[in-house]
Chains A and B, each alone.
Chain A
Amino acid sequence: MAKQQLYSAPGLHSATTYTPGTAASDTATATFGVWRAPVTCKVESIAVQFEGALTGRATNFRTFSFIDGSDDGSGAAVIAAVTANAATVTTSPLIPLDVSPATPYTLDEGDILQFSNALTGNGLAVPVPCGTVTIGFRPV
C-alpha cells in the first residue's frame, strides 16, 4: 500500500507551523524553512496570523513571501507574496495576512516551504512579530 494513506483522503488538508519574528524593524532580509511537505500536494492557501499588528507603508516596508525551497532548502521559486508597501496592507492579532498562491502550487513530498521576510529601506515601523501559519494543501 502507499506510504501516505491518510493523504489518500480527498479534499483539503491543513497544517500549522510558525514563523520567527524580527528583533528590530530594520532587521535584514531572512529566509527560514517552516514546513516540510508530507506528501506531494498542491498548496492552495496560506494565512499568517501575526502576534502583533502591522501596517504597510511606502518606501520603507517588508515583503512576506513563501518559497519552494526544494528538498534541501536551496530552491528560490516564490509561491506567493504580499508586499506591505501601502497602508491598505494591514494585519492584526485578529486578522491574518492572506499569502495564498494565485493558483494551487505543487510541492513534491519532502520539499521545504520557506518563509521570506524581506527588507526594503528601513522596514516597517515596528519589528515583525512571530506568526502562526496555516497551510491548506491538497494531496495529488
Chain B
Amino acid sequence: MAKQQLYSIPGLHQATTQTKVGGHATESTATYGIWKAPCDCEIVNIYQFFDSAITGADSNSRTLSFIDGGTDGAGTATLTGSSKAYTSGINAAVTAPVDMSPTTPYKLDEGDILVYSNAKVGTGLAAVVPRSVVQIAFKAV
C-alpha cells in the first residue's frame, strides 16, 4: 500500500509550525526552513499569528516571505502572494492572523522544505520581528 494513506483523503489538511523571533531590529536577512512537506501537496492557505504587533515603515522595513526551498532548502522561489512588505500602513496585529496564503495553490513535492524569509530593507524596522505561529492548510495531490 502507499506510504501516505492519510493523505489519500481528499480535502484540506492542516499543519502548524513556528518562526523564530528576530535577534535584533537591525539584524541581517534571515532565511530558514520551517516545515517539510509530508507528501506531494498544494499549499492553499498560510496564516501567521504573531506574538507582538508589527508596525510597518517606509525606507527601513522588513519583508516577510514563504519560499519553496526544494528538497535541500536551497530553492528561492517565493510562493506568489505569500510575501508581505511591512511598509508604512502595512501592520500586523496579535489578535488575528495575517493571511499569507498564496494567490493560487502552490505545489510542493514530498520532502520539499517550506522556507521563511525575514528580509531586511534598509536598516530594518524599529522593533524586532516577533516570533509567529504558522498554520498551513494543504491539499494532498
Contact = CB atoms under 8 A, between A and B. Distances in A.
Nearest to A34: B49
B141 to A, nearest CB: 14
9 contacts: A5-B10, A5-B11, A6-B11, A7-B11, A30-B94, A32-B95, A34-B133, A38-B12, A74-B96
Contacts of A9: 9
Nearest to B97: A33
Interface string A13-40: 0011110100000000011111110100
Interface residues of B, number: 21
A6 B93 CA distance: 30
A15 to B, nearest CB: 6
B110 interface: no
A2 B93 CA distance: 32
B10 A32 contact: no
A114 interface: yes
Interface of B: 9-14, 16, 18, 47, 49, 51-52, 93-97, 131, 133, 135, 137
Interface residues of A, number: 28
Interface string A33-49: 11110100000000000
Given A15-B16, A17-B16, A18-B133, A36 B10 contact: no
Contact of B135 (A3, A4, A17, A30): A17
B14 A18 contact: no
Contacts of B93: 73
Interface of A: 1-9, 15-18, 20, 30-36, 38, 69, 72-74, 112, 114
B54 to A, nearest CB: 13
Contacts of A1: 10-11
Nearest to B135: A36
A3 B96 CA distance: 23
A53 B95 CA distance: 26
Contact of A17 (B11, B95, B133): B133
A33 B96 contact: yes
- Please indicate which of the listed interface residues B13, B94, B96 has the most CB atoms of chain A within 10 Å of its own CB: B96
A114 B96 CA distance: 8
